[in-house]
Amino acid sequence: MAILVTGGAGYIGSHTVVELLEQNYQVVVVDNLYNSQIEVLDRIEEITGKKVKFYQIDILDKAAMTQVFAENEIEAVIHFASYKAVGESVIKPLMYYHNNIEGTVALLEVMNHAGVKDIVFSSSATVYGEDNPSPLKESMPTDTANNPYGYTKVVIEHLLQDLAKADSEWSVTLLRYFNPIGAHESGRIGENPNGIPNNLMPYITQVAIGKLPELSVFGQDYQTHDGTGVRDYIHVVDLAKGHIKALEKNKEQLGVKVYNLGTGIGFSVLDLVKAFQTVNHIEIPYRLAPRRPGDIDICFADASKAKEELNWQTEKTLEDMCRDSWNWQSQNPKGYCE
Ligand code: NAD
Ligand code: WQD
For 268-319, write each residue's pLDDT tens digit: 999 999 999 999 999 999 999 999 999 999 999 999 999 999 999 999 999 9
Q: Please report how the helices 11-22 and 39-48 are oriented relative to each other, as an axis angle in degrees rounded to 10.
A: 30
* Contact 127 CB / ligand 1 (< 6 Å): no
Q: How confident is the model over 212-225, as pLDDT tens digits? A: 999 999 999 999 99
How many angstroms does the Cα of residue 285 sit away from the middle of ligand 1?
30
Residue located nearest, by CA, to atom 17 of ligand 2: 200
Nearest CA to ligand 2 atom 23: 124
> How far apart are the C-alpha atoms of 85 and 14, rounded to whole Å?
18
Distance CA 334, CA 323 (A): 18
* CA 325 centroid distance within chain: 15
Helix (H, G, I), strand (E, B) or coil at 308: helix
Three-state DSSP class for residue 121: strand
Residue 146 pLDDT class (50, 70, 90 cuts): confident
48-63 average pLDDT score: 97
Angstrom distances, CA of residue 255 to CA of 153, 277, 303, 315:
18, 45, 21, 28
pLDDT above 70 (res 194) = yes
pLDDT of residue 144: 80
- 11 flagged as catalytic: no
Which residue, judged by its Cα, is nearest atom 43 of ligand 1?
A: 124
Most confident of 57-61, 194-198, 293-297: 57-61
Q: Where are the alpha helices (DSSP H) in 57-147?
A: 62-71, 86-91, 93-96, 103-114
Contact 158, 172 (CB under 8 A): no
Model confidence pLDDT, tens digit, residues 96-134? 999 999 999 999 999 999 999 999 999 999 999 999 999
Angle at 52 between CA 49 and CA 54, to 5 degrees: 155
Q: Is the CB of 84 under 6 A from ligand 2?
A: yes
Whole-structure pTM value? 0.98
SS3 257: strand
Q: Tell me the best of 4, 17, 30, 31 to mutate to test the pocket of ligand 1, counting ligand atoms within 8 Å of each CB and taking the most.
A: 31
Q: Which ligand is in closest contact with the Cα of 156?
A: 1
Ligand (nearest to CA of 287): 2
* Mean of per-residue pLDDT scores for the chain: 97
Distance 179 CA to ligand 2 centre (A): 8
Given a cut of 80, whether residue 263 has pLDDT beyond it is yes
Do 75 and 220 contact (CB within 8 A), yes or no? no
Binned at pLDDT 50, 70 and 90, residue 338 comes out as: low
Ligand closest to the CA atom of residue 86: 2
- Could you give the percent of the chain with pLDDT greater than 70? 100
- Ligand 2 pocket, residue 217 CB under 6 Å: yes
What pLDDT score does 287 carry? Answer: 97
Q: Which of 86, 100, 121, 156 best tests ligand 2's pocket when mutated (most atoms within 8 Å of CB)?
A: 86
Report whether pLDDT(143) > 90: no
Q: Is 176 a pocket residue for ligand 2 (Cβ < 6 Å)? A: no
pLDDT digits (tens, 9 = 90+) for 73-87: 999 999 999 999 999
* Predicted local distance difference test score (pLDDT) of residue 145: 87
